[in-house]
Amino acid sequence: MPKRRIQFIINPIAGGKDKTDFQLLVEQYLDPRDFESYFSFTEYVSHGIELAKAAVENKVDMVVAVGGDGTINEVASGVLNSDIPLGIVPLGSGNGLARFLKIPIDPIKAIQRIASGKVGSIDSGQVNGRAFFNMAGVGFDALISNRFAEKKNRGALEYMKVVLSEINKYKPKQYTIETDGAVISREAFMISIANSPQYGNNAYVSPKASLRDGLLDVCIIKQFPLYQFPILIFHLFSRTADQSEYVEIIKAKRILIRRTNNEPVHLDGEPYEYGEELLIEVLPHSLKVVC
């Protein structure tokens, strides 16, 4: 049998974790008799998309994203709607998609899963034509993503520091939300569009979301008294956010959000600039993954 050719695309700063020895781990835990491995490092925003598309053109057998949800977003965007599966070695801050797919957080076990895992397909979403795979959002979490992107230090602790520094200042915004033709207006602290149930670090905003149901979950988090914040955090980590009076969840295939501001929008934790209208759609079974 010919060797399987694997392209690893590594984000050197994801999660604030050292990846200098990653190639050695692959050489140790992927049998060179069965696999031929190639390694590239991202150097700038959207570089992962370029590297993944080049790997598809080179007809490799698998492309592996090494990093967090933002890295996965770029690499997956490059292989989207192709026959080449995405492998994941989760070395980011939250690792929401990997956790839900039950991909080991330990890099050695994740590398071994690449060799032994099965290939399946999952849905993806898109906001104004740009893909996301785990979570997109507007409002407070998008603001936090924007602030976090400016930090040199990464990781869950730094992320929580940013949250605590901003939560007292942020004011809810007014949104008009159209879901498969039904229109509602809401004042919201934030709106998360969930393809998988969790943000990362096992914080579940939409416990019943599925990567394979052909639907996205519109999670509207209403303004809440600050003293309720610890209770909301409890709901996230106990997978009961859908039971909170401050959370409303609507499932839909096509979502149109209109707003009166141009605040950042996040896709898989990475901030982007968009206008006042956001068209969000699901792309069923559009990404092949090793899990």
Judge if pTM exceeds 0.85: yes
> In CATH, what class is 4-117?
alpha beta
Low-confidence ranges of the chain (pLDDT < 70): 154-155
For residues 97 and 124, the answer to whether their CB atoms sit within 8 Å is no
- Look at residue 158 in the predicted model and tell me its pLDDT: 79
Question: Angle at which helices 22-29 and 107-116 pack, to 10 degrees?
Answer: 40
Mind listing the pLDDT tens digit for each residue in 216-228?
999 999 999 999 9
Q: What's the pLDDT at 137?
A: 97
pLDDT confidence of residue 183: 98
For 207, which DSSP code? Answer: T
152-174 pLDDT tens trace: 776 677 788 888 899 989 999 99
Q: Which CATH architecture has domain 130-284?
A: Sandwich (2.60)
Provide the residue ranges of all domains of the chain, joining segments of one domain with +: 4-117, 130-284
The reply to whether 4-117 and 130-284 are identical in fold is: no
In whole angstroms, how far apart are CA 67 and each of 17, 89, 155? Answer: 9, 7, 12
Asked if residues 142 and 265 have their Cβ atoms less than 8 Å apart, the reply is yes
Cα–Cα distance measured from residue 187 to residue 249, given in angstroms and rounded to the nearest whole number:
14
In Å, what is the CA distance from 107 to each residue of 19, 72, 209?
A: 10, 15, 26
